[in-house]
Every structure is written in structure tokens, then in C-alpha cells.
Chain A
């Protein structure tokens, strides 16, 4: 997650594949359990397998579309703004939510954009908070970095 990410056009591919795999694996577990529980006795295993085969790739595709679109917008916003801050992700999230809801009309676009922007804002905020929390633990063993390196390390 935090080791050096690829430069911008390539990170889209990386994120797309990562999101697709995340949806597929998570969806396999999720729908496996759901299909198992919702099947009648005697057909539970085959029910679970059928549910996974039908639904996990779909979920992976949904995740992948979301992640790839978000990463593309993230790169575009970075290129336009020439800055690296949480607003990049929030703006990209708003664009993503808006463009995914574009077939629903103006209101759907607005609601999707606001929803995704809020989601990304919460994720960014929690990420910053957790980074600060874990930074306190690792700071003791790390040598003090030379001044001016913090901005580049972001």
C-alpha cells in the first residue's frame, strides 16, 4: 500500500487490477458464505459455488471500474492541480461518483458525486489519522530524516 507507487499513468493499471482482485476475492468469500447460508440443506456446497461463480466476478468488475476510474481521475486532477494533497482524492472521488451515475440524470449525478466525495474524504481523514497514530510507534527506531524530506516522501 505505502511502498513507492508507480508514476502516474501506470498507477491506473495497477489500481484497476488491484481493485478487480479485491472485489473478486472479497466477493468470493462474501457470496460464498451468503450462498451457503441461503441454500437449502443438501445443496449448500453447490449453492455456495454457484453463487460465487455468478456474483464474485461481477463484484470484481464493479470494484475494478470504480478503482480504475478513480485512479484515472486522480491522475488527471494531479496533472491539472500540480499538487499532492487530500483534495486530489476528494475531487477525483466526486468525479468518479458523478460519472458512474451519469445515466441517472442530473440529480443522480449530484448525489453520486457528493456521496463518493464524502466517502473519499472520510477515507483520507482516517488514513491521515492512522498514519499519525502509527508514526508515533515507529519514530523511535527510525533515524531523523534530513529536513525537507518530508514533502518528498508523501
Chain B
């Protein structure tokens, strides 16, 4: 898809890579916060081990931040449609429409 194609459509959505970055950033933030909470709880419960408090906490935060960021990045990419609205419309047109039958006389409410 040429990058020029979006111009006359007015506003174009963010690209797939933008979505990947956004999802990874959001997941990283969530993971850091969760790692902070989980790490704090675990340090209070079981002690910090040989590494010291700050290092253990940092390991928790970095580990869960990386995991969450990775999976949220993947998730936001696969839930992204094509940024070009025309191609997206073509894709939607290519899907089969559902066939809806009128229900039998006996099942109708009215």
C-alpha cells in the first residue's frame, strides 16, 4: 500500500506499528504497576532474599512489565484493522453477509 494513498481520505488511523507501540507501552505501564504491587506484597511476606529490596522489586517490575508489554503488543496488533479505510471497506464487503430468516408464524411475538 503506497503511503500516499491516505491523503485524500482525510484523517487516517494510526498504522499497525503505531498500534504495536501503543499496546506495548500500555502493557508495559500496566505490568510495571502490577509488578510493583505484587513485588511489594511478596517482599513483605517472604523477605527480599539475597539481592536486597530495591533489586528484587526492580526485577519484579521489569519482568512483569516486559511480559505484559509483549502480550499487549501482540494483542493490539491482531485486533487492528487495515488503516486505509478503502481497503477495510473492501475486506468487509468480501465477507459473507449473514442470512436472516423471518421466524415461523408460531414463534413471532407480535
B78 touches A122 (CB 8 A): no
A29 touches B29 (CB 8 A): no
Sort chain A's interface into a size bin.
20 to 34
Nearest neighbor of A130 in chain B, beta-carbon distance? B26
A18 touches B78 (CB 8 A): yes
> If the complex has contacts A1-B80, A3-B81, are A22 and B26 also in contact, measured as CB distance less than 8 A?
no
Which of chain B's residues have a CB closer than 8 A to the CB of A22? Answer: 71, 74-75, 78-79
Number of interface residues of B (CB under 8 A): 21
Which of chain B's residues have a CB closer than 8 A to the CB of A18? Answer: 75, 78-79
B78 touches A126 (CB 8 A): no
B71 touches A130 (CB 8 A): no
> If the complex has contacts A21-B78, A25-B78, A26-B74, are A119 and B19 also in contact, measured as CB distance less than 8 A?
no
Q: How far is the CA of A1 from the CA of B74 in the complex (A)?
A: 12
A-B contact count, CB below 8 Å?
47
Which of chain B's residues have a CB closer than 8 A to the CB of A46? Answer: none
A123 touches B79 (CB 8 A): no
Q: How far is the CA of A23 from the CA of B26 in the complex (A)?
A: 17
Q: Is the interface of B mostly helix, strand, loop or mixed?
A: helix
Q: How far is the CA of A123 from the CA of B31 in the complex (A)?
A: 9
| Interchain residue pairs with CB less than 8 A apart (19) | A1-B79, A1-B80, A3-B13, A3-B81, A18-B78, A22-B71, A22-B74, A22-B75, A23-B71, A26-B70, A26-B74, A26-B75, A29-B70, A122-B30, A122-B34, A126-B30, A126-B33, A130-B25, A130-B29
In the complex, whether A9 has a CB less than 8 A from a CB of chain B is no
A126 touches B71 (CB 8 A): no
Which of chain B's residues have a CB closer than 8 A to the CB of A127? Answer: 26
Q: How far is the CA of A1 from the CA of B29 in the complex (A)?
A: 18
B29 touches A30 (CB 8 A): no
Q: Shortest distance in angstroms between A6's beta carbon and chain B's nearest beta carbon?
A: 12
In the complex, whether A118 has a CB less than 8 A from a CB of chain B is yes
> If the complex has contacts A130-B26, A141-B11, are A26 and B81 also in contact, measured as CB distance less than 8 A?
no
Which residues of chain B from 53 to 82 have any CB-CB distance to chain A below 8 Å in the complex? Answer: 70-71, 74-76, 78-81
Which of chain B's residues have a CB closer than 8 A to the CB of A29? Answer: 70, 74
> If the complex has contacts A1-B19, A130-B25, are A119 and B34 also in contact, measured as CB distance less than 8 A?
yes
Q: How far is the CA of A18 from the CA of B76 in the complex (A)?
A: 10
Nearest neighbor of B75 in chain A, beta-carbon distance? A22
